C-alpha cells in the first residue's frame, strides 16, 4: 500500500504521503474498502475544536489529515498592535491549561531581548509557579486521557487535586486559569503570607495522590492493552518531525530544555529527566507521571531556598527593546514553547512568532496512527496532549 519513491528512501516525507497512492491512479473504487470519516470539530474526545479526517481501510487507519484553525484568534497579529506589556495577558490564552509557562516564556524572551535579568528571588518564584502549573497540566491531561480510554474515575480525582494548585494561583495573583503571573523583568506580586506553607502542604498532599492515580492505571491489564504498542513513534521520526516534550522523551531521546539550555534558576536544582523506551502511549503515560514527581522535587528544593531580594529587575517603565530579534524557548508541559520576537525599537513588537509545542506535535499524529484502529486514534490524540488554543493561536 505504500507508494514507492524515486530513490527508495524511507524518510518521513515519503511516508507521510504513502497513503495517497500517488503511483496507482487507476485503482478503482471496488479494489479497496476505503472510507473517509470525519471526526468533526465538535467531538467529545478531540480536546477542543479539532477536525481530523481519517482515511480508513475497513477499520484500519491509512492516513489522517488534521484541519485546524477553528480557534484561531490572530494572537500574533494582535501582538503587532500592542505594547510588550499589554501583550503579556494574551500569551496566557494560547495554552490556557499551562498559562504560567506561556507567561514565563514570553517574559524571558523579552528580557533576553532587552538584556535584563530577573532577580534571583523572582526566578525562584517563577520556577515554583511554573512547576506547579506543570503538575496541574499533567493532571488535566491524565484525567482527560483516561476518560477517552474509558476510565471515568481518574478525571474526578485529578481535577479535585488540581484545585489545590489553582487555589495557590488564586491567592498569588488572583486568577486560576489565565494567571498573568509574571511581568517583564520579574514578578509583580510578592509571595503572599503563607505561600511557602501552602506549597509545602501541597507537596505532602499530592504525592500520595499521584500514587493513587498510578494504582488505578499503571498495572491495570485493560489500560496496558489499550496503551501498549499504540501510537509508536521512533526517536528518529520524532526528531525529524520536530516533536518535543514528553512525546520526544518517551521515544528515548534525552532532551529537556531545562537541562539542555537552563533558564530561570533551573540550573540550581537537582532533578532527573524521565526517559521512555519504545515511544508508545504507555511510555508517554509513564514519562508524564514521572515528570510530575520530578516537579515535586524541584518545587521542594525551590521552596526551601527562596532567596531574599527584590522581585522586579531594573526595567524601565516603558518597555522599548533595542532593534533586533531573538528566539527563546522554554520547556512547557507540552514541549518546547518558543518565542521569536523581532523588535524595531518601538514600544510595540514588529513581529512575535510563537512556536507552540502542540502545533508541531500534532503533525506527528499522522505517522503515529498508521495501521491503528479508529478507537486508537482517540487514544493517540489524547496522549499527544494538545491544546487547541496553542495549535491555532
Partner 1 sequence: MPNFIMSYLGSTLTPGEAGNQFWALVYVLVIFAGVSVAVIAMNWIERKALAHFQIRLGPMRVGPHGLLQPFADALKLMLKEDIIPSEADQFVFWVAPLIGLLAAFTVYTVIPFGPSQAVSDMNIGILFMLGVSSLGVLGIVVAGWASNSNYPLIGALRSSAQMVSYEVAMGLAVVSAILMTSLNSTGTGTLSMIGIVQAQQQQGVWFIFKFFPLGFIAFAIFAIAMVAETNRAPFDMAEAESELTAGYHTEYSGFRWSLFMLSEYAAMIAVSSIAVTLWLGGWMRPFPNLLHAPAWEFVFSLFPALTFGGLAAIAFIGTVRMPSHSFFKIQRIGLAVFGALLGLVALLLLLIAIAGHSADETLASRFKESIGHVYWFVLKVAVFMYLFIWYRATWPRYRFDQLMKIGWKVMLPISLGVLMITAIVGVIFS
Given the rule CB under 8 A, which residues bind partner 1?
37, 39, 44-45, 59, 146-153, 155-157, 160, 216-217, 220, 222-223, 225-226, 373-376, 378
Strand partners, 34: 57
* Beta carbon nearer to partner 1, 183 or 370: 370
222 vs 323 by CB, closer to partner 1: 222
Q: Is 387 within 8 Å of 48 (Cβ atoms)?
A: yes
SS3 content of the chain, % helix, strand, coil (to 5): 50, 15, 40
Minimal distance, residue 219 CB to partner 1, in Å: 12
The smaller minimum CB distance to partner 1, of residues 160 and 320, is found at: 160
Q: Can you tell me whether residue 364 is helix, strand or coil?
A: coil
Burial of 194 (0-12, 13-18, 19+ CB in 10 A): exposed
- Measured from the CB atom, the residue of 24 and 37 that comes closer to partner 1 is 37
Written as nine digits, the cell of 104 is 514565563
- Minimal distance, residue 155 CB to partner 1, in Å: 8
Q: Cell numbers of 140, please?
A: 488535566
- Tell me how far, at minimum, the Cβ of 276 lies from partner 1, in Å: 20
Min separation Cβ 283 and partner 1, Å: 17
Show the 3-state SS of 12-34.
HHHHHCHHHCCCCCCCCHHHCCE
By the 8 A CB rule, do 349 and 87 touch? yes
Nearer to partner 1, 118 or 206 (CB): 206
Q: How far is the C-alpha of 37 from the C-alpha of 213, rounded, in Å?
A: 34
* Smallest gap from residue 53 Cβ to partner 1 (A): 13
Could you tell me which of 102, 14, 158, 65 has the C-alpha nearest to residue 354? 102
The nearer residue to partner 1, 95 or 376, going by C-beta atoms, is 376
Residue closer to partner 1, measured from CB, 57 or 117: 57
Nearer residue to partner 1 within complex by CB, 72 or 228: 228
Q: At what angle do helices 195-217 and 120-149 cross, to 10 degrees?
A: 30
Neighbours of 124 (CB within 10 A): 25
Provide, rounded to whole angstroms, the least separation between the CB of residue 151 and partner 1.
Answer: 4
Minimum CB separation from partner 1 for residue 160, in Å? 6
Q: How far is the CB of 191 from partner 1 (least distance, A)?
A: 30
Rounded Cα distance, 304 and 211, in Å: 24
Angle at 46 between CA 169 and CA 381, to 5 degrees: 95
Amino acid at each position: 500500500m505504500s507508494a514507492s519513491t524515486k530513490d527508495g528512501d524511507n524518510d518521513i516525507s515519503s511516508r507521510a504521503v504513502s497513503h495517497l497512492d500517488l503511483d496507482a491512479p487507476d485503482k478503482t473504487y471496488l479494489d479497496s474498502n476505503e472510507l473517509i470519516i470525519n471526526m468533526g470539530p465538535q467531538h467529545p474526545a478531540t480536546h477542543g475544536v479539532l477536525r481530523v479526517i481519517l482515511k480508513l481501510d475497513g477499520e484500519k487507519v491509512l492516513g489522517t489529515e488534521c484541519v485546524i484553525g477553528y480557534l484561531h484568534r490572530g494572537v500574533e497579529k494582535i501582538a503587532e498592535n500592542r505594547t510588550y506589556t499589554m501583550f503579556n495577558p494574551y500569551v496566557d490564552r494560547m495554552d490556557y491549561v499551562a498559562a504560567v509557562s506561556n507567561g514565563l516564556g514570553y517574559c524571558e524572551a523579552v528580557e533576553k531581548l532587552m538584556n535584563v535579568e530577573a532577580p534571583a528571588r523572582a526566578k525562584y518564584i517563577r520556577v515554583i509557579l511554573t512547576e506547579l502549573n506543570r503538575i496541574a497540566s499533567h493532571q488535566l491531561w491524565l484525567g482527560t486521557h483516561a476518560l477517552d480510554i474509558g476510565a471515568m474515575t481518574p478525571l474526578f480525582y485529578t481535577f479535585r487535586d488540581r484545585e489545590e494548585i489553582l487555589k495557590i494561583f488564586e491567592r498569588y495573583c488572583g486568577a486560576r486559569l489565565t494567571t498573568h503571573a509574571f511581568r517583564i523583568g520579574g514578578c509583580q506580586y510578592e509571595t503572599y503570607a503563607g505561600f511557602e506553607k501552602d506549597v509545602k502542604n501541597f507537596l505532602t498532599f499530592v504525592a500520595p495522590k499521584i500514587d493513587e492515580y498510578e494504582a488505578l492505571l499503571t498495572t491495570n491489564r485493560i489500560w496496558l492493552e489499550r496503551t501498549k504498542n499504540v501510537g509508536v513513534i521512533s526517536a528518529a521520526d520524532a526528531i525529524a518531525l520536530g516533536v518535543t516534550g514528553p512525546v520526544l522523551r518517551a521515544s528515548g531521546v534525552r532532551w529537556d530544555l531545562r537541562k539542555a539550555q537552563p533558564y530561570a534558576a533551573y540550573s540550581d536544582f537537582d532533578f532527573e529527566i524521565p526517559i521512555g523506551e519504545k515511544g508508545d502511549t504507555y511510555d508517554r503515560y509513564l514519562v508524564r507521571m514521572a515528570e510530575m514527581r520530578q516537579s515535586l522535587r524541584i518545587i521542594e528544593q525551590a521552596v526551601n531556598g527562596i532567596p531574599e531580594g527584590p522581585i522586579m529587575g531594573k526595567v524601565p517603565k516603558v518597555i522599548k527593546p533595542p532593534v533586533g530579534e531573538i528566539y527563546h524557548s522554554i520547556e512547557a508541559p507540552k514541549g518546547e514553547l518558543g518565542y521569536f520576537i523581532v523588535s524595531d525599537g518601538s514600544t510595540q513588537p514588529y513581529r512575535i512568532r510563537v512556536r507552540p509545542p502542540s502545533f508541531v506535535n500534532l503533525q506527528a499524529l499522522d505517522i503515529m496512527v498508521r495501521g491503528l484502529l479508529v478507537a486508537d486514534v482517540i487514544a493517540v490524540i489524547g496522549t499527544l496532549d494538545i491544546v487547541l488554543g496553542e495549535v491555532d493561536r
